[in-house]
Structure 1
């Protein structure tokens, strides 16, 4: 450590002396100071420590709270392994915090009157349910960058409300909460935060099971299947999608139809052509059944997907792409983009990226780069890291044309700030 911090300094629980830097008790505020000293976001800090982002958010919200012993051990290790520059910055930030705290204590304080905390009520639960569907509509227009912090905050609020609820009110609150947790998971997944997404999905599944909501439980399993597809775990994805299709009746028809399509993509990823075709045939039957049934209140797929007939065409295009059928995939994605409603802005970027891959497979690098540039513009606006990741993977398929002007331009765009 630099000589500036060579003298011994004691401030609260912090001791700095020579090369020794010890925190006797880690609290939310101390942990937040280490995060800032490391120049990390909450998500990056969570990954650095190997904890959930929800846990880091709770520390930040409760600066005086003493952290669990296991967490304190993780923070001790992080501080010990930090560079001298980070440790010096951490010490300086603690020094400034102590000075500011001392100054605050010398000033008169004013207190707002105590307000009773929010109590769960049927009207509040109904309002939360209505608000969730408005967020679904906003998702395709503005993407995860704006919505994710809002959804996480509301899910945390619902979690706190469950502590004071019981009976039917608790069941209803858990059911709505499962919707918020699932949606937060989806937004995190789309923004490229896989670990955070998984944590939200697990909470959503726990709440859905506790509320007896088979439809939401199946929908979350389908989301987990999509995650597995993104990780190129085709067989696992197909297995999860099959689990999402359990049950019958009109209430789960749409979810089962979407899950069957996800299963088909999973089989295609693993190269199981006949299984993919079988799942597509099943999906077609389920799409017909769901279109004949009345829309069900609270269905998590309503407002999230375009017409299921159009979505089936999208799935077929994905299967063609995964099976390496470039010409068929180009034709299929071109038709899909012509049918996609204009309000599905974020999805348009995703499917343009897939069209770019199809063009590359079909030997059309110029067309691939044109579609990719349009997809990148949409992904940058909505914050869809999933689409950006796919476009970066596209460069591998464009390697045979790496010296052509369109490919070099695309590579430069993807290398720059997005």
Structure 2
């Protein structure tokens, strides 16, 4: 993350030209910083400017002076491109209000999408510092904005906070995940959006599920589905969580009913843009969700068949290493359940480097479940060695 050519820049000493990310000076600055995983404090130290200056630049409150632009250019190694951009894009910003926050909002929306891609492929520690510092920039900017743009900035800050909470859970810190989820609800309300309060209950269901409180997970999911602000997307997410909870409790009929609700609500989604909380329902695979439920019900043969059919057809998506690793381990667990330990170990062996790289607490929990089940089967020396390596990684 710290190399000279990271984040769209060329090696030191070589101009990068059009390889700068799109946007005005502040947005480009934030994008470059986010790609390196630098906090505001770290970037300020490297550029030898104050943290307040960085926040004002990134939120569009201030224009860069030539000296500050040159310092930023040197810190990023952009070969004069940031200096040129600062000269081209100067505008009359003032401290009491963001002047035309539209570019700031659009730019940070792009950065959020980019950070999510990085988080899915490289894990929470690669994006957490950037997520937290960008929320600071946005919350500093929001009070200075006017009219509808103020609400839009608060909503964007809420989306950053929600994803920061998810990354905290992926890093194995559920208390921090809950804290950021609560912050997202508050900032969403400041932006006039109550749907985040409904989605927060879905997140709480997932957190309860991972700490082993399955009844609480189902209760949170049901409350999310009943929330007055919940639309089809949130109800679909809630039904999915309820289905997996009932599966873990062995409640097959309740699981089936929840899966039917998931499919029904997912079919109602007609606008992929709103609400914007959680993963895209339309990108989900109902058959993989069903396979996961069959695994929870210990219907290993059904689960293995579903995973084999769906993962074989799943398009390669390197940017979503997290999901692919998660489903691969679940497939291996199903295979181990029907005695296919050789195939299961082969799948896990291929996934271990990815699991180590993304360092996801939720994926490691899946790996622990695989190891626990696989160790009840007869294993050869090579398989025992793989299970030992998997157990070590899972317990990290």
State the TM-score, normalized to the length of structure 1.
Answer: 0.65
1:147 to 121, 124, 127: 127
Matches within 5 A, 1:42-121: 118=56, 119=61, 121=98
Partner of 2:87: none
8 Å CA contact 1:140–1:346 kept in 2: the answer is yes
Distance in 2 separating the partners of 1:414 and 1:111: 45
Distance in 2 separating the partners of 1:295 and 1:403: 46
**Distance apart, 1:213 and its partner CA:** 1.7
Q: Which has the larger radius of gyration?
A: 1
1:172 to 152, 167, 178: 152
8 Å CA contact 1:218–1:255 kept in 2: the answer is yes
Alpha carbons of 1:133 and 1:178: their partners in 2 closer, same or farther (altered >3 Å)? Answer: same
Alpha carbons of 1:182 and 1:116: their partners in 2 closer, same or farther (altered >3 Å)? Answer: closer
Partner of 1:273: 252
Partner of 2:296: 322
Corresponding residue SS for 1:296: coil
Q: Gaps (5+ residues) in structure 1?
A: 1-59, 62-109
Matches within 5 A, 1:253-272: 253-272=232-251
Pair 1:341 & 2:315 matched: yes
Partner of 1:4: none
> Can you list the C-alpha shifts for 1:308-334, whole angstroms capped at 9, x where unaligned?
4x5211211111011111111111122
Between 1 and 2, higher relative CO (CA 8 Å, sep ≥ 6) is seen in 2
Q: Gaps (5+ residues) in structure 2?
A: 1-39, 42-47, 62-96
Alpha carbons of 1:210 and 1:244: their partners in 2 closer, same or farther (altered >3 Å)? Answer: farther
Alpha carbons of 1:407 and 1:392: their partners in 2 closer, same or farther (altered >3 Å)? Answer: farther
Alpha carbons of 1:183 and 1:117: their partners in 2 closer, same or farther (altered >3 Å)? Answer: closer
Partner of 2:374: 398
8 Å CA contact 1:375–1:387 kept in 2: the answer is no
Partner of 1:188: 168
Distance in 2 separating the partners of 1:407 and 1:111: 55
**Distance apart, 1:189 and its partner CA:** 1.4
8 Å CA contact 2:233–2:275 kept in 1: the answer is no
State the TM-score, normalized to the length of structure 2.
Answer: 0.68
Distance in 2 separating the partners of 1:365 and 1:281: 32
Pair 1:228 & 2:208 matched: yes
Pair 1:299 & 2:276 matched: yes
Alpha carbons of 1:215 and 1:369: their partners in 2 closer, same or farther (altered >3 Å)? Answer: same
Distance in 2 separating the partners of 1:247 and 1:399: 42
- C-alpha RMSD of the superposition: 3.1
8 Å CA contact 1:401–1:407 kept in 2: the answer is no
Distance in 2 separating the partners of 1:254 and 1:313: 18
Distance in 2 separating the partners of 1:275 and 1:111: 58
8 Å CA contact 1:148–1:184 kept in 2: the answer is yes
Corresponding residue SS for 2:225: coil
> Can you list the C-alpha shifts for 1:67-93, whole angstroms capped at 9, x where unaligned?
xxxxxxxxxxxxxxxxxxxxxxxxxxx
Partner of 2:192: 212
Partner of 1:52: none
> Can you list the C-alpha shifts for 1:281-334, whole angstroms capped at 9, x where unaligned?
1111112221xx233356234xx34744x5211211111011111111111122
8 Å CA contact 1:216–1:300 kept in 2: the answer is yes
Partner of 2:266: 287
8 Å CA contact 1:234–1:268 kept in 2: the answer is no
